[in-house]
Amino acid sequence: MRIDLLRHGSTGRDGYLDGRTDPPLTDDGWDQVGRQTESRMWRRVVSSPLARARAAAEDYARRTGCTLEIDGDWRELHFGRWDGRRRRDIAAEARGADLLAAFYADPAVAAPEGESWADLQARVARAVERVLTHSGAAPVLVVSHGGAIRAALSHLLGWPLPQLWSLRIQLGTRITLEAGRGADGAPWGEIVEIIQP
């Protein structure tokens, strides 16, 4: 089946760790999403419940009449006490740079009072499996976040999450995959196209 993973558009907050912090899309963000969805048809849209993803998914579903599902497992990583703060401000604190480095290097390390990348992978894997289960409604557009998209790619492609930091997924990026399950029931995926905004 074909699955398109679309990272929400710009919120004007580059450099911030916005997980549960949920600023709205800027005009540029709406333009990015518009370019990625223009002249394309999906029968089903699945979205994170966070407004910066959900608003664009709702708009697309309203304009095209396709099915819309809101799935909480597609929301962004919860950054805990770092949520809504600039990375550079966190790095400037005592031990902040070391804590951030450990957080990005080791999927088991969580942000203070937040979620680890391993936790994110587990819940996004559930979300991906639900998408695969409803394969009769392909193609599917998933509107989500950078961390969740990396976790989905890790699950489908079998790549270790730290390796995925070498893949740039800018705001407004769309990644098209062919995906399914093998004879053994294990998920598989193949990247067909990456369109940066």
CA distances, 31 to each of 64, 134, 143 (Å): 17, 30, 15
> Are 24 and 12 spatial neighbours (Cβ–Cβ below 8 Å)?
no
The residues, ordered by sequence, that sit 6+ positions from 55 with a Cβ below 8 Å of its Cβ are 24, 25
Question: 20-76 pLDDT, tens per residue?
Answer: 999 999 999 999 999 999 999 999 999 999 999 999 999 999 999 999 999 999 999
Give the pairing of strands 44-47 and 140-144: parallel
Based on the structure, what is the number of domains in the chain?
Answer: 1
Question: 156-167 pLDDT, tens per residue?
Answer: 999 998 888 899
- CATH code assigned at 125: 3.40.50.1240
Question: 104-147 pLDDT, tens per residue?
Answer: 999 999 999 999 999 999 999 999 999 999 867 679 999 999 99
- d(CA 51, CA 145) in angstroms, rounded, equals 11
Question: 86-96 pLDDT, tens per residue?
Answer: 999 999 999 99
The residues, ordered by sequence, that sit 6+ positions from 84 with a Cβ below 8 Å of its Cβ are 16, 17, 18, 21
Q: What was the pLDDT predicted at 58?
A: 98
Domain that holds residue 186: 2-195
Question: 4-18 pLDDT, tens per residue?
Answer: 999 999 999 999 999
- d(CA 102, CA 138) in angstroms, rounded, equals 38
Q: What was the pLDDT predicted at 175?
A: 98
> Are 152 and 130 spatial neighbours (Cβ–Cβ below 8 Å)?
no
Q: What was the pLDDT predicted at 110?
A: 96
Give the pairing of strands 174-181 and 187-195: antiparallel
Closest Cα partner for 148 from 177, 126, 180? Answer: 126
Q: What was the pLDDT predicted at 165?
A: 86
Q: What was the pLDDT predicted at 161?
A: 83
